Amino acid sequence: MFNNCENDGYPLIEQIGNAKGYWKSKVIEFESIPILCCEKCQNIYLKQNIAIIVQEITRAIYDLNEYDVTTVNISSSYKSIIENKREIYNLLVEKKIYPIIDNNKLIIIAKDIKSFENKGDLGLLAAARNHNGENFTEDVLKEIEEMKNYEDQ
Ligand SMILES: [Zn+2]
């Protein structure tokens, strides 16, 4: 969809990086997602699927108005979220999944999205979890740990 930068016509390079999501007054930094970056001016572009989920998550955070977050990490879950991109807003706003809140960062792990897919029935797993960041089950902790390792690279 994008091949060249709109500014200067230089090629766009696919990479993992940060991009901002906007909804009304809300600006959220999304960490470690696939972006297209101009090799000359560093302008960042998003493919359509990523752009949609970035906007839908930002919109959900704005509408929920109860998470004091400035950063979102979907680095382990964006593929699953894309498959459910029409649902992600409702999943968040209707609290069918509980994202992890770590300081000002909201983290959505793949397991939550997959558990929603598999069960169809909502949030049972999430409800069993203290979403203040304690009492994570071992597999959830493992996924968070893997994500952090990935960020460190
Ligand atoms: Zn450019």
Distance 139 CA to ligand 1 centre (A): 42
Paired tokens of 5 = 């930068």
Residue (of 27, 21, 93) closest to 53 by Cα position = 21
What pLDDT, on the 0 to 100 scale, is given for residue 135?
A: 55
Asked if 73 and 106 count as a contact pair (C-beta separation under 8 A), the reply is yes
What pLDDT, on the 0 to 100 scale, is given for residue 121?
A: 46
Distance 85 CA to ligand 1 centre (A): 28
Q: Per-residue pLDDT for the chain (153 aa), expressed as one digit of tens each?
A: 568 999 999 999 999 999 999 999 999 999 999 999 999 999 999 999 999 999 999 999 999 999 899 999 999 999 999 999 999 999 999 998 889 999 999 999 998 888 776 654 444 444 444 444 455 667 777 776 776 665 544
Enumerate the domain spans of the chain: 47-152
Distance 40 CA to ligand 1 centre (A): 5
β-pairing, 71-73 vs 44-45, is unpaired
What pLDDT, on the 0 to 100 scale, is given for residue 65?
A: 92
Residue that the structure tokens 């696939």 belong to: 34
Instruction: Name the pTM for this structure.
Output: 0.76
Residue 76 amino acid letter: S
Distance 104 CA to ligand 1 centre (A): 31
> What letter would DSSP give residue 103?
T
Distance 38 CA to ligand 1 centre (A): 5
What pLDDT, on the 0 to 100 scale, is given for residue 3?
A: 84
* Interatomic CA distance for residues 22 and 19, integer angstroms: 10
Distance 4 CA to ligand 1 centre (A): 8
* Interatomic CA distance for residues 108 and 77, integer angstroms: 6
Q: In Å, how far from its chain's centre is CA 28?
A: 10
